């Protein structure tokens, strides 16, 4: 189907079903229960899952396939965001031109950065991209304040021109929409104690992510993708065969920059605000973490990594000591305090610590990331099944190994 | 076993009917934020109401965030009838009776802004969408305040700003759903200038070092305008990167410029470093133009004074509130200022709970919580529009700053501003600043239209 083999089709379908049913899957606990703390099925976080999924998928096209480690991808995300917000301020609050321009501008910017940075490989390439990203951040933070709003950032204002939109109705504020459908609108379904929220913005982002995911599979499977892998294997040898590898790496760099721009544009479409921190080097580092945590060079890995990190950032960081005491109230007093004191460094603002430990464990024991973990489990079950039924079918590995 | 007749079609039909039945009561809301269906976002349903405390718990302003959180916890305790009631006893409005807000017990959720707009908005959105917070408050930087204020406007909840000093928050970026108790750059400049003119004369040449971001720009502009109005001359204004930690290369040229006053438009760690550098360079021992060289820090906080240590001695600045108001004091020109009852009550209950006096960030956050609760009580509703109406042009007293007005035109509080100076002989690590003058509110009041911006109309959300 769609020019994919059976295994890839199955993967796309699984991802499609998971994203479409995410409001159910992410809200497994009833409202008001103690465990509702762990529910992630609210619009903001679901949007973040898919948007950072797109960002990581794009990053993986560069890092996973060619092995070039860019430490400046957040710059493209930021540039895309600024392009999108300016489209909203000047043209229309409809998200289509905003997202389109985000991709275009990020593509042009990545062409420029890539053209310079790709003259070097390895650590020098990483440092160059990092330098470009930090330059962009510094420019956006202060020097380009008239264009970027500086530290305060940009938001749609009542007084913006918006030349394609009619004048605002009295008492309303400009809101991002898709041909009239507001990104913030949602349908709430309450079943028993559960409350499921179906958000228009989330579904737009999810559909875009599916398209982005599909394109990434096609790239992975194409001769172009094969060439990128060849670059990762041994670029020198490739050069000696008389082949100029630079256009290929540059193309991969620009494609992944455009993915980042798309993610940036979507972020603005979902939440109409841009600040320069989006370009800070920690944001660039985060996407590297996402990709490695999930499994670099695999198809689904980056999406899993992105989901994992965003979940920790938004859920673990909100657990405070009061909540811990509520959980362990049934313990004897001294023991309760002890247990809370033991867990406290790992929650709330300590979520970075938890993430760091997880990252170390994954890198040491599962070098292939979460995907490798999934494969090991699948193999375990697969073996058991084989022994039982003696079918000897295909290995149920969901993702191709790099 | 009872006989059951389950057909595939029957199951489908029942399923469809149940699904339709379940879906019927939920209406298609045009805004996601609607939790309850009483006409506004997150209308409290049970016997509790949830407030969202969004403060920096990591990053450069984590200390201030921690102090803000302490103040919020204290405020919630007092609203729910615990503790000694703090400033509830001195607050001029008496609607808060210890039964929470409108009879609903106050609960709260916390989040980490990381002093980044994106993180702050993500945290605020999760409070609104997931935890059903009816009001968001906190923050320790103007960038974050402006970002979260816009979000709250869009979502249809009230935003009670924490520590934010830039003119923009209630100037060009003001929003109908946002309210600020803290003072701003303009007021700092207006309050400082006369004191400086009195202490240092009217023919000074000032050299500005300014943090290169919005707050720095507005503060520098305010100080320059108000000092120039009194006869000072501005020699130069140099922008310094926010991430700068060593300011020696910026300070060396100051002496060659012929300036005899250095204004450090820096906050937090920036100010600690630049002031330390300036003092180490011996600027304060120099004589320029036959005058003693002086340094000024427009916005002071106790935490900054602590960081800069002995270097703050004798250096002028302004502050929103200082705990020494609780004891009363004598200004250098001999005026006796009586202890302030509100401040005393607050310092006492804060000190008893945490063991040290509160910072100005804690004070403004505590006040904002009380002001919100009182406005809801007076309005008789949690509806943001009703609350906004109750806060509009609200005059109150007893919250530590004397008579105060919440101006309806820009949702900015107008109250006396404190001009402070680093103490020569501090008695403890908290006793670093002394109040030099209480600048009356009339002197710092400005026209609401001078910064532009549009308040818009209040948005109750769903």
Would you state the pLDDT for residue B16? 54
Question: Nearest chain B Cα to A47, which residue?
Answer: B122
Residue A324 reports pLDDT greater than 90:
no
Residue A132 reports pLDDT greater than 50:
yes
Q: How far off is chain B from A147, nearest CA to CA, in Å?
A: 13
Q: Is residue A338 part of a domain?
A: no
A31 pLDDT tier (thresholds 50, 70, 90)? confident
| A119 lies within 8 A of chain B by CB | no
Element (H, E) at B105: strand B105-112
Chain B hits for A190, CB-CB cut-off 8 Å, are 22, 25-26
Residue A83 reports pLDDT greater than 90:
yes
Contacting residues for B385 by C-beta, under 8 A, at least 6 apart: B40, B458, B459, B460
Total count of domains within chain A: 1
| A249 lies within 8 A of chain B by CB | no
Distance CA B439, CA A123 (A): 57
Distance CA A75, CA A133 (A): 5
Q: How far off is chain B from A44, nearest CA to CA, in Å?
A: 6
Between A136 and A350, where is the model more confident? A136
Q: CB of B305 within 8 A of CB of B432?
A: yes
Report the pLDDT averaged over residues A57-65: 94
Contacting residues for A100 by C-beta, under 8 A, at least 6 apart: A265
Report the pLDDT averaged over residues B8-33: 46
Report the pLDDT averaged over residues A308-316: 88
Taking the alpha carbons at both ends of chain B, their separation in whole angstroms is: 51
Residue A93 reports pLDDT greater than 80:
yes
Pairing relationship of beta strands B135-138 and B48-55 according to DSSP bridges: parallel
Would you state the pLDDT for residue B134? 94
Question: Nearest chain B Cα to A176, which residue?
Answer: B154
Element (H, E) at B417: strand B417-422
Q: How many CB atoms lie within 10 A of CB A21?
A: 11
Would you state the pLDDT for residue B32? 37
Mean pLDDT of chain A: 88
Question: Nearest chain A Cα to B115, which residue?
Answer: A277
B397 pLDDT tier (thresholds 50, 70, 90)? very high
A224 pLDDT tier (thresholds 50, 70, 90)? very high
Q: Is residue A383 part of a domain?
A: no
Range of the domain at A31: 6-280
Phi and psi at B403, nearest 5°, equal -60, 130
Domain of A47: which CATH number?
1.10.3470
Residue A395 reports pLDDT greater than 50:
no
Of A158, A171, A349, the CB nearest to B57: A349
Phi and psi at B135, nearest 5°, equal -150, 140
B127 pLDDT tier (thresholds 50, 70, 90)? very high
Query: In whole angstroms, how large is the CA radius of gyration of chain A?
Result: 23
CATH number, span B48-183+341-415: 3.40.50.2300
Q: Between chains, do B30 and A182 touch, taking CB under 8 Å as contact?
A: yes
Residue B432 reports pLDDT greater than 80:
yes
Tokens standing for B309? 């240590």
Report the pLDDT averaged over residues A152-172: 81
Chain A hits for B31, CB-CB cut-off 8 Å, are 182, 184-185
pTM for the whole structure:
0.86
How far are the Cα atoms of A75, B119, B164, B178, B377 from residue B147, in angstroms, in the given order? 20, 10, 12, 11, 28
Phi and psi at B297, nearest 5°, equal -120, 105
Q: Is residue A208 part of a domain?
A: yes
| A157 lies within 8 A of chain B by CB | yes
Chain A hits for B23, CB-CB cut-off 8 Å, are 189
- Residue of B55, B56, B117 for testing the chain A interface, max A β-carbons within 10 Å: B117
Distance CA A247, CA A145 (A): 35
Would you state the pLDDT for residue B27? 38
Distance CA A197, CA A22 (A): 10
Between B110 and B27, where is the model more confident? B110
Q: Between chains, do A152 and B130 touch, taking CB under 8 Å as contact?
A: no
Would you state the pLDDT for residue B26? 41
Question: Can you give the residue ranges of every domain in chain B?
Answer: 48-183+341-415, 186-319
Q: Between chains, do B143 and A151 touch, taking CB under 8 Å as contact?
A: yes
Q: Is residue A300 part of a domain?
A: no
Q: Is residue A166 part of a domain?
A: yes
- Residue of A24, A36, A44 for testing the chain B interface, max B β-carbons within 10 Å: A44
Pairing relationship of beta strands B205-211 and B261-265 according to DSSP bridges: parallel
CB pairs under 8 A between A and B: 135
Distance CA B128, CA B433 (A): 39
Q: Between chains, do B213 and A150 touch, taking CB under 8 Å as contact?
A: yes
Tokens standing for B306? 């602590």
Supply the ipTM of this predicted assembly: 0.84
- Judged by average pLDDT, the poorest of B17-21, B264-268, B288-292, B448-452 is B17-21
Would you state the pLDDT for residue B2? 47
Tell which A residues from 167 to 186 touch B, by Cβ distance under 8 Å: 170-171, 173, 175, 182, 184-186
Chain B hits for A204, CB-CB cut-off 8 Å, are none
| A277 lies within 8 A of chain B by CB | yes
Would you state the pLDDT for residue B58? 81
DSSP A262-319: HHHHHHHHHS--B-GGGGSHHHHHHHHHHHHHH-TTSSSHHHHHHHHHHHHHHTGGG-
Phi and psi at B434, nearest 5°, equal -125, 140
Q: How far off is chain A from B125, nearest CA to CA, in Å?
A: 6
Chain B hits for A142, CB-CB cut-off 8 Å, are 212-213, 239, 241-242
Chain A hits for B107, CB-CB cut-off 8 Å, are none
- Judged by average pLDDT, the poorest of A271-285, A377-391, B159-173, B289-303 is A377-391
B186-319 folds as Rossmann fold (3.40.50)
Q: Between chains, do B143 and A153 touch, taking CB under 8 Å as contact?
A: yes
Q: Is residue A301 part of a domain?
A: no
Q: Could you give the 3-state DSSP secondary structure of residue A130?
A: helix
Q: Is residue A231 part of a domain?
A: yes
User: pLDDT tens digits for B413-431?
Assistant: 999 999 999 988 888 888 8
Would you state the pLDDT for residue B346? 95
Residue A401 reports pLDDT greater than 70:
no
Report the pLDDT averaged over residues B389-398: 94
Q: Between chains, do A317 and B111 touch, taking CB under 8 Å as contact?
A: yes
Q: CB of B52 within 8 A of CB of B131?
A: yes
- Judged by average pLDDT, the poorest of A235-244, A303-312, B39-48, B272-281 is B39-48
Q: Is residue A145 part of a domain?
A: yes
Question: Nearest chain A Cα to B454, which residue?
Answer: A158
Residue A228 reports pLDDT greater than 70:
yes
Chain A hits for B146, CB-CB cut-off 8 Å, are 152-153, 155
């Amino acid at each position: 189907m769609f020019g994919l083999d059976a295994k890839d089709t199955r993967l796309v379908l699984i991802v499609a079903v998971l994203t479409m049913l995410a409001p159910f899957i992410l809200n497994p606990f009833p409202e008001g229960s103690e465990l509702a703390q762990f529910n992630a099925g609210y619009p903001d976080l679901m949007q973040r899952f898919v948007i950072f999924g797109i960002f990581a998928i794009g990053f993986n096209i560069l890092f996973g396939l060619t092995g070039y480690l860019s430490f400046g991808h957040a710059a493209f995300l930021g540039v895309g965001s600024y392009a999108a917000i300016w489209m909203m301020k000047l043209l229309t609050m409809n998200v289509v031109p905003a997202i389109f321009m985000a991709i275009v501008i990020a593509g042009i910017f990545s062409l420029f950065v890539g053209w310079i940075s790709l003259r070097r490989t390895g650590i020098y390439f990483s440092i160059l991209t990092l330098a470009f990203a930090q330059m962009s951040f510094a420019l956006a933070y202060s020097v380009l304040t008239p264009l970027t709003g500086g530290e305060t950032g940009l938001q749609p204002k009542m007084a913006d021109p918006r030349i394609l939109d009619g004048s605002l109705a009295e008492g309303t504020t400009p809101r991002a929409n898709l041909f009239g459908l507001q990104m913030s609108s949602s349908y709430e379904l309450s079943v028993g104690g559960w409350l499921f929220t179906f958000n228009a913005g989330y579904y737009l982002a999810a559909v875009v992510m599916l398209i982005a995911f599909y394109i990434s599979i096609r790239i992975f499977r194409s001769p172009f993708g094969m060439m990128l892998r060849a670059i990762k294997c041994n670029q020198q040898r490739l050069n000696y065969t008389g082949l100029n590898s630079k256009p290929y790496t540059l193309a991969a760099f620009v494609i992944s920059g455009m993915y980042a721009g798309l993610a940036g544009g979507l972020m603005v479409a979902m939440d109409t605000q841009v600040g320069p921190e989006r370009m800070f080097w920690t944001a660039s580092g985060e996407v590297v973490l996402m990709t490695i945590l999930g499994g670099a060079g695999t198809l689904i890995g980056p999406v899993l990594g992105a989901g994992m990190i965003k979940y920790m950032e938004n859920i673990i960081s909100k657990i405070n000591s009061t909540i811990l005491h509520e959980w362990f109230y049934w313990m004897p007093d001294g023991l309760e305090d002890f247990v809370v004191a033991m867990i406290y460094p790992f929650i709330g603002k300590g979520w970075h610590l938890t993430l760091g430990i997880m990252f170390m464990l994954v890198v040491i024991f599962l070098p292939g990331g979460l995907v490798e973990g999934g494969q090991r489990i699948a193999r375990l079950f697969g073996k058991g099944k084989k022994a039982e039924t003696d079918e000897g079918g295909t290995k149920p590995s969901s993702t191709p190994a790099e | 076993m009872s006989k059951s007749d389950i057909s595939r079609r029957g199951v489908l039909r029942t399923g469809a009917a149940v699904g339709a039945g379940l879906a019927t009561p939920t209406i298609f809301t045009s805004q996601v934020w609607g939790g309850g269906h009483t006409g506004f976002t997150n209308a409290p349903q049970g016997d509790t109401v949830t407030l969202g405390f969004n403060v920096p718990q990591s990053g450069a302003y984590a200390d201030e965030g921690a102090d803000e959180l302490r103040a919020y916890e204290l405020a919630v305790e007092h609203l729910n009838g615990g503790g000694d009631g703090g400033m509830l006893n001195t607050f001029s409005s008496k609607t808060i009776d210890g039964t929470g807000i409108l009879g609903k017990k106050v609960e709260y959720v916390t989040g980490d802004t990381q002093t980044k707009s994106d993180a702050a908005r993500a945290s605020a959105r999760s409070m609104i969408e997931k935890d059903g917070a009816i009001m968001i408050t906190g923050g320790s930087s103007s960038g974050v305040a402006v970002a979260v204020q816009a979000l709250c406007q869009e979502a249809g909840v009230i935003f009670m700003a924490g520590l934010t000093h830039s003119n923009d928050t209630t100037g060009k970026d003001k929003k109908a759903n946002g309210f600020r108790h803290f003072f701003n750059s303009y007021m700092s400049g207006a309050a400082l200038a006369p004191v400086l003119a009195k202490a240092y004369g009217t023919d000074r040449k000032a050299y500005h070092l300014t943090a290169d971001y919005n707050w720095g720009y507005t503060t520098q502009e305010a100080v320059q305008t108000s000092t120039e109005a009194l006869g000072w001359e501005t020699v130069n204004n140099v922008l310094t990167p926010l991430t700068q930690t060593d300011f020696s290369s910026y300070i060396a040229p100051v002496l060659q410029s012929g300036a005899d006053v250095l204004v450090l438009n820096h906050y937090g760690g920036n100010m600690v470093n630049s002031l330390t550098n300036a003092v180490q360079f011996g600027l304060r021992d120099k004589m320029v133009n036959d005058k003693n060289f002086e340094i000024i820090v427009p916005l002071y906080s106790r935490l900054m004074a602590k960081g800069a240590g002995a270097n703050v001695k004798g250096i002028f600045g302004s502050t929103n509130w200082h705990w020494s108001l609780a004891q009363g004091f004598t200004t250098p020109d001999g005026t006796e200022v009586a202890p302030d009852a509100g401040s005393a009550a607050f310092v006492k209950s804060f000190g008893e709970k945490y063991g040290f006096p509160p910072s100005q960030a804690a004070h403004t956050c505590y006040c904002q919580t009380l002001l919100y609760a009182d406005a809801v009580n007076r309005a008789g509703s949690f509806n943001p529009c009703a609350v906004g109406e109750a806060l509009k042009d609200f005059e109150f007293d007893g919250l530590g700053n004397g008579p105060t007005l919440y101006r309806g035109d820009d949702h900015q509080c107008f109250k006396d501003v404190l001009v402070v100076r680093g103490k020569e002989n501090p008695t403890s690590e908290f006793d670093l600043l002394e109040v030099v003058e209480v600048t009356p509110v009339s002197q710092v009041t400005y026209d609401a239209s001078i910064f532009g911006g549009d308040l818009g109309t209040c948005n109750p959300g769903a």
